[in-house]
């Protein structure tokens, strides 16, 4: 039972345009969400996070939007750059306690076309 879903396994975007990666979750206990970027042969790199008390968090070119009623979040990257080509994982956890395990989505492979 996949509690965190990334329905698009791949996405291609022209350089300079906006990349939008989507993530849906089913577990209503999740209220802290993170995006990780992963290059081949490397570990996931933390990008940005959001807790359920917010609906938007921005950090440079990266913005995460959370729609808690729809159990949906998205990562916007603008403008997209060739170095953004990677696999992006959405992850979720409850925030009631520290040290909680992450539940990952299946990932979206983003390719930025020069």
Partner 1 sequence: AAGVIQSPRHLIKEKRETATLKCYPIPRHDTVYWYQQGPGQDPQFLISFYEKMQSDKGSIPDRFSAQQFSDYHSELNMSSLELGDSALYFCASSVELGTSGLDTQYFGPGTRLTVL
Binding residues for partner 1 (CB under 8 A):
4, 32, 34, 36, 41-46, 49, 51, 89, 95-107
Cα–Cα–Cα angle for 51, 88, 101, rounded to 5 degrees: 50
Q: Please tell me the distance from the alpha carbon of residue 37 to that of residue 85, in angstroms, as a whole number.
A: 9
- In angstroms, the CA 16 to CA 103 distance is 31
Contacts 24+ apart (CB under 8 A), 42-50: 44/89, 47/75, 47/88, 48/75
Closest to partner 1 by CB, 20 or 102: 102
Nearer to partner 1, 2 or 14 (CB): 2
Q: Within the chain, what is the greatest distance between any pair of CA atoms? A: 43
d(CA 23, CA 105): 8
Nearer to partner 1, 79 or 94 (CB): 94
For residue 8, the minimal CB distance to partner 1 (Å) is: 14
For partner 1, give the closer residue by CB, 49 or 74.
49
């Amino acid at each position: 039972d996949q509690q965190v879903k990334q329905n698009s396994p791949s996405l291609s975007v022209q350089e300079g345009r906006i990349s939008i990666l989507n993530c849906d979750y089913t577990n209503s206990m999740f209220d802290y969400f993170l995006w990780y970027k992963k290059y081949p042969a490397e570990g996931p790199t933390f990008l940005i996070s959001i807790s359920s008390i917010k609906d938007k968090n921005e950090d440079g070119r990266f913005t995460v939007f959370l729609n808690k009623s729809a159990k949906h979040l998205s990562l916007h990257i603008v403008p997209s750059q060739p170095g953004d080509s990677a696999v992006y994982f959405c992850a979720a956890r409850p925030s009631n306690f520290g040290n909680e395990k992450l539940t990952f989505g299946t990932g979206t492979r983003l390719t930025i076309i020069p």
